Amino acid sequence: MGLYVRQDEKRTELQEKIAADLRAKAAEKSKSDIEGPQYDGERDADIVNDTHKSSPLLAVWLALGAATVAVVIYLIIRSS
C-alpha cells in the first residue's frame, strides 16, 4: 500500500528540495560552461614533458615497408 499524500499538493517537501538542488547544480554547471576552461600557460606547458618520442630508426622502418610493398607489387606484375 502506498504512502498517502494529500491530493492538493503536487510535490512533497523532499521532491521540492531535490528539485532546488538540481536547479542550483545546473545553474552552476551552465555558468562554468559559459566561462569555458581556464588555461595556465606555465602549468599547461608541462603536458608535453615526458611524452614519447619517435624512434630514430623510424626512417629505416618506413623504407623497409615501402621496399616490401614495392617488391610485392613487382612480383604480382611479373607473374601475370
Number of domains in the chain: 1
pTM of the model: 0.37
Render pLDDT for 12-66 as a digit per residue (tens, 0 to 9): 888 889 999 999 998 888 776 666 666 666 666 777 777 777 788 999 999 999 9
Lookup result for grid cell 619517435? 54
The torsion angle over the Cα atoms of residues 43, 47, 50 and 53, rounded to 10 degrees, is -150
Cell 531535490, located at residue? 18
Domain assignment present for 48: no
Structural domain contains residue 44: no
What is the pLDDT at residue 6?
58
In a domain, 66, yes or no: yes
Enclosing H/E stretch for 17: helix 13-35
Burial of 66 (0-12, 13-18, 19+ CB in 10 A): exposed
- Residue 28's domain comprises 13-37+54-79
- What stretch of H or E contains 40? none
pLDDT tens digits along 8-23: 567 788 888 999 999 9
